[in-house]
């Protein structure tokens, strides 16, 4: 599934989360030198990057430079199926982790637990393979650096963007977690299948509903819109 985010503005207080800073370090590692980083940061701050399209394994965006606009593509390795399954298991392993993710927080112990089972969620510089249609002789060029920096702003605000890039989008994650809580049939029980309680299924539904309500309230609050009673 591809998600397109509207033009970004630099966060007022900068990148604050530990995972957002880890992404920015990866961008710095990916760049060859400050000669690409400095103008890339300037492009990002000025808002020269257009809408950013995020999909499993890739980022697509345009970056304006004077009278020209260049197309940037970034490829990020997607987790293999076994690793995606392991990541879902890690999220489900402790109560409250999915609620944290939906609230915009990436628990440090979740990432550590994932690494223990061989799943690398946060990318390193060498995994950020960027190309641009501009004539610059190095990749990532300043335009690609700008797109990567702004993608980091998205990751900082919502760590599930990082999950999506790795091949586990929000809807897929919720569907898999929900499937784990659906009671098995009588035949399944007879075959020795572990049955999750109905209460756990209800908890997942409540968490999802609460997170969605909170996201809508926050969006309305930031817009200065009067909050409707139905969302309170």
Specify the pTM.
0.78
Residue of 36, 69, 35, 33 lying closest to 51 (CA atoms): 69
Rounded to whole angstroms, the Cα distance separating 130 from 58 reads: 10
- Residue 171's pLDDT is 92
Domain assignment of residue 176, yes or no = no
Residues 164 and 187 in one domain: no
Residues 22 and 70 in one domain: yes
Residues 161 and 201 in one domain: no
Structurally, the chain folds into a number of domains equal to 2
- Residue 151's pLDDT is 97
Half-sphere exposure in the Cβ direction for 209 (13 Å, CA): 8
Residues 87 and 39 in one domain: yes
Encode pLDDT of 100-136 as tens digits: 999 999 999 999 999 999 999 999 999 999 999 999 9
- Residue 209's pLDDT is 55
Residue 30 · residue 148 · CB < 8 Å: yes
Residues 90 and 137 in one domain: yes
Q: In terms of residue numbers, what domain contains 211?
A: 182-222
- Residue 33's pLDDT is 84
Encode pLDDT of 53-102 as tens digits: 999 999 999 999 999 999 999 999 999 999 999 999 999 998 899 999 99
Domain assignment of residue 139, yes or no = yes
For the record, the structure tokens of 92 come out as 């489900």
Encode pLDDT of 33-54 as tens digits: 888 899 999 999 999 999 999 9
């Amino acid at each position: 599934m591809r998600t397109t985010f509207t033009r970004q503005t630099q966060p007022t207080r900068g990148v604050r989360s530990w995972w957002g800073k880890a992404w920015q370090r990866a961008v710095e590692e990916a760049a060859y030198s400050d000669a690409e980083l400095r103008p890339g940061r300037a492009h990002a701050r000025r808002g020269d990057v257009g809408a950013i399209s995020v999909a499993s394994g890739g980022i697509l965006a345009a970056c304006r430079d004077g009278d020209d606009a260049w197309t940037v593509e970034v490829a990020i390795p997607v987790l293999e199926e076994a690793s995606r399954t392991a990541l879902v298991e890690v999220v489900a392993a402790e109560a409250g982790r999915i609620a944290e993710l939906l609230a915009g927080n990436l628990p440090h112990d979740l990432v550590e637990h994932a690494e223990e089972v061989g799943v690398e969620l946060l990318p390193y510089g060498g995994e950020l393979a960027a190309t641009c249609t501009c004539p610059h002789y190095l990749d990532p060029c300043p335009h690609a650096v700008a797109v990567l920096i702004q993608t980091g702003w998205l990751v900082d605000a919502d760590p599930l963007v990082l999950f999506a890039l790795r091949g586990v989008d929000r809807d897929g994650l919720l569907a898999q977690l929900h499937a784990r809580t659906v009671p098995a049939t009588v035949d399944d029980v007879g075959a020795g299948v572990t049955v999750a309680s109905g209460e756990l299924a209800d908890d997942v539904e409540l968490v999802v509903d609460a997170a969605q309500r909170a996201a809508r309230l926050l969006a309305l609050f930031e817009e200065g819109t009067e909050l409707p009673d139905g969302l309170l």
